[in-house]
A and B are shown apart, each in its own frame.
Chain A
Amino acid sequence: MSTTDKKVSPATRWAVPGVAAVIGVAYLVTGLVGDDVAFGVFGLVLMLGAGGAFVLAARWSETAAGLRDRTDERINEIDRSASLAAGMVVLLAVLVMFMVEIAQGEDGSPYSQLGALGALSYVVSLTWLRFRR
């Protein structure tokens, strides 16, 4: 439900840019560990830029603002549907690549493991949500 008395915590408002920053730092660490500083710096700048762009967009875009404060149920529903669509596309790509690998005489790695992870995640989520709702 959406009500005006619902306070939006700073943790909620900064979740997306925060995750973007964490991923950026992870890119940097990965680049440094792999002796590819350019990749690390580019990844950090890219993710910080994406997070900053999201925060700026929330000033003029109702959709971005809704994704930031999470109080609008319609935007949240759209976000869930978009996430589902993105997940289905990734799973479909994994399955196609798995079959391509098998057709080429390979063992299907890493797509077989990724597909199994997707299937397992679905079953665990289904079971968890089944008992919660």
Chain B
Amino acid sequence: MRNVVREQRLARGLSQAALGDALGVSRQTVNSIETGRYMPSLPLAIALARFFSKTVEEVFDVND
């Protein structure tokens, strides 16, 4: 499933580590989500969407 986490993070000038700190996960986990290797849980997906002031569907492409 594709997502726009990297684009949203870069648009805010955040590093992967900074985003990870904000969400309470590791930099590696942010990287894995961005590259599509790891599918976050629903709570973490919601937390990500809320962090970017987006809906989950806007962050994660459910049609992909």
Contacts and interface: CB of A to CB of B under 8 A. Distances in A.
Contacts of B22: 4
A6 B40 CA distance: 17
Interface stretch (A17-25, A47-55, A64-72, A123-131): A64-72
The 10 closest A-B pairs by CB, nearest first: A1-B43, A2-B24, A74-B29, A62-B26, A4-B24, A2-B25, A3-B24, A72-B25, A72-B26, A62-B28
B32 interface: yes
Interface residues on B, range: 10 to 19
A3 B29 contact: no
Contact of A73 (B21, B25, B27, B28): B25
A2 B40 CA distance: 10
B8 to A, nearest CB: 18
A30 interface: no
Interface residues of A, number: 15
Contacts of B53: none
A1 B41 contact: yes
Interface string B35-57: 00010110110010000000000
Interface string A72-105: 1111000000000000000000000000000000
B26 A73 contact: no
A112 interface: no
B56 to A, nearest CB: 13
7 contacts: A1-B41, A2-B24, A4-B22, A5-B24, A73-B25, A73-B44, A74-B32
